[in-house]
Structure formats: structure tokens, C-alpha cells
Amino acid sequence: MSNVAVVDAIDAYLQRKAVGDPDGSGAGTYATNAESILRRWAEWLEGEYGVTTLFELETAHMRAYAAELNERTSKGQYTASTAGTYYAVVRAFLSWCVRGGIVGENPAATAHAESALPSGDDRSERESWTADQRRALERYVRDRALETSSEDSEERRSRLREYAMVAVLAHSGVRGSELFRVPEDDRRTGATWDDVDFYTGTIRVLGKSQRLEDVPLPAPARTPLRKYRIVLDPPANDWPLFPTRHAPSIARRVRETLAERGHDDAEIDALLSESTAQELARERSIAPPAITTEGARSVLKRLCQEVDIDVEGDYLTPRGVRVDSGDDRFRREATSSKPALRASVDEQSIAVPEDRPSVFDDVSKEDESTD
């Protein structure tokens, strides 16, 4: 094997894939999506095993990587297909290294390494939620929201937030990764109020087409969202539909934004001593981060427990709430300069997982306890 650094080989691979796309094969898009996966794999290799060159890479390392994916899958952090996609991207990169003579063989393309991957018949991949169960969840959050006293503004805001979240997922056809924030992908920051057009009844997202798309917001989704917006009262349209409630994340965003606006540490500390980060964010129109996909899952898990909805010990995920009834046919491409968020990630058109928590970051730490 060559003594080429793993990160250098990744750079060369991504550059090669990103150079032009004359035949429309999507090579440039593939490079964009593969970059995050490959760089995190390289960080994991170095952090766990001190491996920094391809010369040091062995089948045992790839088996350990597959086992890591398997463990994350068993914890319910993502599906078996997501794990398979991560592994396939790394395997494709190493196959390219073999073809280029950088390495002699592909340590990922062995039965020993691949046998540690999770099984492809993951239960969470199957649709097991009935329409009655979805309706029961929606009825529960709707009734709770409407019964809340208008005098208790914080409780009313919280319940309308949950009602809107369930309704949009259930009726609009929007995917979790299009609506919420994916921490390991800085392009997926979550939908904002600027993306919602109540006049046309649409929400703008990045779909499977790899382009911005206007997705219909039917009345059952639009009405709860409009009620929620009134009580949320976002100070600006760049405010996320569903802001995180994780105080450290809000404080970090406030500090970073104030620093970018020219405030020094002493001034920022003084401002935060007089107001909470959440209050300061509103006063200064500093949009907080959106709730993460894992945070949204934790909200749904709690709601399912409250309404006693249970299917074989599981709970209703964002994908489970969404009724897949051919909504994609009604999406229309939108003309905009906003960068694409979703794309294919495999040389053989392996699809990007819709909700893909990081293999290396426990994103549930941010939102799970606070929703």
C-alpha cells in the first residue's frame, strides 16, 4: 500500500468527482454529499486507531467501522439503510484508490468487514403505523393545543408547536431532514418562516430532485402552522419554524452573532447578564438554531408515550408520521439561488438517507432532554 495520507487521498477523490458534470451524471453533487461522510470517517480512523495513512489501513479497521455503524443502528439513531450508505461511500472511495494504484486492495470490500454491518431488514425501515394511530396522535396534540389557556403563553406556544410539527409532517409530505436541522450537514439548517408562503399554500424545501421544490401545505397542515406562528411571533422571517430549546445552543449562537456584529467578550457578557440568551436573541433578531432531526424524534417519542401509542416497543418517527401517498408528484421545481440541500451520495445512485444522524456525533444530546 501507498503511504499517502487518508485526507490527501480524499481531497484528490472529491476534486476528481467534482470536476464538471458534462453528461449530467450528478458527479458534482455526489462529491458534495460524500465529502461529509468521508471526512468524518477519516476523523474517526485517526481518533479511534491513530490511522492517518492508507498504508496503515486494514480490514480490521473497516470491520470496526461497520461495527460502529451497527451499534448506532441498534440504538435507533438511524436506519440500516443509512448505515449501508455510509459504508458504501467509503467503500467506493477505496475502490477508486485501488483503480488508481494508490492501494493494492480494498479493505472494505471483504466479507469479514461487511459482515459487521446491520441487517438490511431493519424494523424501522418498514411502515408499521396505521392511519388510525396517526390520527390518534394528531387528535391528541390538537386537543391539548386548543384546551390550553391563552393566559399561559409559554404552555400554549409549546403545545401549538407540537401540534404544528405533527400536522406538517402528517399532511404536507415534507421530510424530516427538510424540516429540521441535521447537525453534521451545515447546509441543512432547518426550514424557516421565509420558506413558508401562506398565500400560495406552499413550503419551499430541497427534495429528492436535488433542486428547490415548492411542496403543497394543505389546510390541515397550514392552519395549525398559522396558529403556531401567531403565538411564536418570530421577530424575523429567517427564524426557524421549530427553534431548538437547548439553552447552550441558543447562547452559543447569540455569542457568535454578537461577536460578528463587532461586540467584544466584555460587552457580550454584560448583555447576557441582563437578559437570557433567548430574550437577547429576540431583542437583537438573532435567529436560534432549528431543532435537530433527533430532537424532533424525541418530541414524537414523548408524545407517543403520553397518548399510549406503541408498536412493538417503537414510536412514531418523522417518517412514520408522514403519509407517503405520492405527494412527490405534486412538488414543483422552484427557481431560486438558495443552495441545494439534498442530493445523491453514491456513484451508483445510492440515495441520501432522509434523516441521518452522524455516525460520529451524538446529536441527541442537544435536543433530547429539552425537545
Residue 295 resides in a domain: yes
If asked whether residues 77 and 157 sit together in one domain, one would say no
Which 3 state secondary structure label does DSSP give 189? strand
Residue 356 resides in a domain: no
Residue 113 resides in a domain: yes
CATH number assigned to the domain comprising residue 175: 1.10.443
In 3D, which of 249, 204, 201, 260 has the Cα closest to residue 226? 201
If asked whether residues 29 and 170 sit together in one domain, one would say no
Instruction: State how far the alpha carbon of 155 is from the alpha carbons of 40, 224, 232, 249, in Å.
Output: 39, 16, 11, 21
Which pLDDT belongs to residue 227?
Answer: 94
Q: Could you report the per-residue pLDDT of 298-351, keeping only the tens digit for each? A: 898 899 889 887 655 555 666 656 555 444 555 666 655 444 333 333 343 334
Residue 123, Cβ density class (10 Å: 0-12 exposed, 13-18 middle, ≥19 buried): middle
Q: How many independent structural domains does the chain possess?
A: 2
- Mean per-residue pLDDT for 215-222? 91
The order of strands in the sheet holding 212-216 is: 196-197, 202-206, 212-216, 332-333
Which 3 state secondary structure label does DSSP give 176? helix
Cα Rg of the chain, angstroms = 22
DSSP code, position 290: B
If asked whether residues 240 and 145 sit together in one domain, one would say yes
Q: Which three cell numbers stand for residue 309?
A: 401509542
- The domain boundary residue, chosen from 125, 160, 183: 125
Residue 350 resides in a domain: no
Q: For residues 19 and 48, which has the higher predicted lDDT (pLDDT)?
A: 48
The C-alpha atoms of residue 187 and residue 249 are separated, in whole angstroms, by 17
Q: Which three cell numbers stand for residue 28?
A: 458534482
If asked whether residues 189 and 225 sit together in one domain, one would say yes
If asked whether residues 160 and 228 sit together in one domain, one would say yes
Q: Would you place residue 129 in the very low, low, confident or very high pLDDT band (cuts 50, 70, 90)?
A: low
**The CA-based dihedral angle spanning residues 252, 257, 260, 263, taken in that order and rounded to the nearest 10 degrees:** -80
Residue 271 resides in a domain: no
Domain that holds residue 93: 6-125
Name residues whose C-beta falls within 8 Å of residue 155's C-beta, 6 or more positions apart in sequence: 148, 149
If asked whether residues 54 and 151 sit together in one domain, one would say no
If asked whether residues 105 and 155 sit together in one domain, one would say no
In 3D, which of 45, 24, 31 has the Cα closest to residue 96? 31
Residue 367 resides in a domain: no
If asked whether residues 88 and 188 sit together in one domain, one would say no
If asked whether residues 310 and 205 sit together in one domain, one would say yes
If asked whether residues 322 and 178 sit together in one domain, one would say yes
Which pLDDT belongs to residue 312?
Answer: 55
> Which of 140-149, 254-263, 299-308 has the highest mean predicted lDDT (pLDDT)?
254-263
The C-alpha atoms of residue 34 and residue 103 are separated, in whole angstroms, by 20
Residue 366 resides in a domain: no
Calculate ∠ Cα 370-341-286, nearest 5°: 50
- The domain boundary residue, chosen from 68, 95, 125: 125
Residue 351 resides in a domain: no
If asked whether residues 121 and 142 sit together in one domain, one would say no
CATH number assigned to the domain comprising residue 119: 1.10.150
Q: Could you report the per-residue pLDDT of 56-98, keeping only the tens digit for each? A: 999 999 999 999 998 888 776 667 777 888 898 899 999 999 9
Which 3 state secondary structure label does DSSP give 101? coil
If asked whether residues 177 and 311 sit together in one domain, one would say yes
| Contact between residue 140 and residue 189 where contact means Cβ atoms under 8 Å apart | no
